Structure 1
Amino acid sequence: MNFKPVSSDSFEHYFYKRAQLADEMASSGHVVDAHTLATASLDALAGIWLHDFPDVKKKLEIELGGTVPASIRLARFLKQFVADDSRVSKVAVICFAEDWKNSRPQDAHLADQLLIKRISSDSHEFPRSYLDISRTELSQECPELSSRPDLYALAEEYEYGAILYTFYRCPLVHVATSSNRIHGFARGEEVMYY
């Protein structure tokens, strides 16, 4: 195999080309594939962002007390560069509440308060992503979050999930993040996840 060296010009346009390809794929009806390519490219770009801006990375490491998780990296990247899109600051509330409930059974009653508003009594109806809210709104709904800075901070890790779930349910993407929550696809409507 002969690998051609990557010129700075081609690297500079790598993500632009991915965005163009994703747009073309979406236009031709391959929406899930387009979203997969776009979000994988955004995640890679977020990694480059922290690499190329060591001051930002250092600040995040100090704030978070160590390595920056990929979920926080992507959440912060999106909030930095797409700040006017309210979806980037929404928490995937059901995922957050279910994980909170499982990891801290003593708080199950608090997590249940969040879940009961979002899970239908009809076992055939899945919860919908439009019920996701921002961390600020979440702490107003559940004041205990305000008294638990660690838990409030953890909720940020569920922000990137909320924006992804508004696009699609895709097992291929979640295999890469070791998630077993999502399977199947959605078309043309708010995504249901469970």
Structure 2
Amino acid sequence: MAKRNSEWFDWVKALLIAFALAFIVRTFFFTPIIVDGPSMLPTLHDRDQMIVNKFKYQINDPERFDIVVFHASDQKDFIKRVIGLPGEHVAYEDNVLYINGEAVEEPFYTEEQDDVLPYPGPTNDFTLEDLPGNYEVIPEGHVLVLGDNRNNSTDSRVLGVISMEQIVGTTSLIYWPFDRMQMVGK
């Protein structure tokens, strides 16, 4: 009888440790997310399932073109691409991205993608001053984000710059559906 109670206790202890580890990993390091909507087409598709790395930005700053997940509201997280970094001025003119007055190529954005987008066409011109907040440069601790499907994306053009406190983490691994399993990013 004592041996049976000992086995039972060992199983309960092992399950509690497993749940505790899963909770710690999900809370502090990695968590799944499901893409909701077409704003990141053609890079990410609606219902793609991804892993969010919550730890990376604890030791590194975001880089241009990282794909990030952030709290857009208390109820909703968005997935967008980092375009502008702190201290930079961002403008879009004639479908060209300008950072501090210099044209920057967007390697993930090609004219061929217009064939697969539900709302194809050029990105509407804007400057950082046109966005909510009317900043001349992106403030410290903030980034400017845009969806890859620029004509169907609620991003910094509507929300303004995003604070680092809003950012959950970065994502680059699509793990479901299997036929789309891949690393995405820059």
TM-score (norm: length of structure 1): 0.28
Q: Which has the higher strand share?
A: 2
> Normalised by the size of structure 2, how large is the TM-score?
0.29
Higher relative contact order (CA 8 A, sep 6+): 2
Bigger proportion of residues as helix: 1
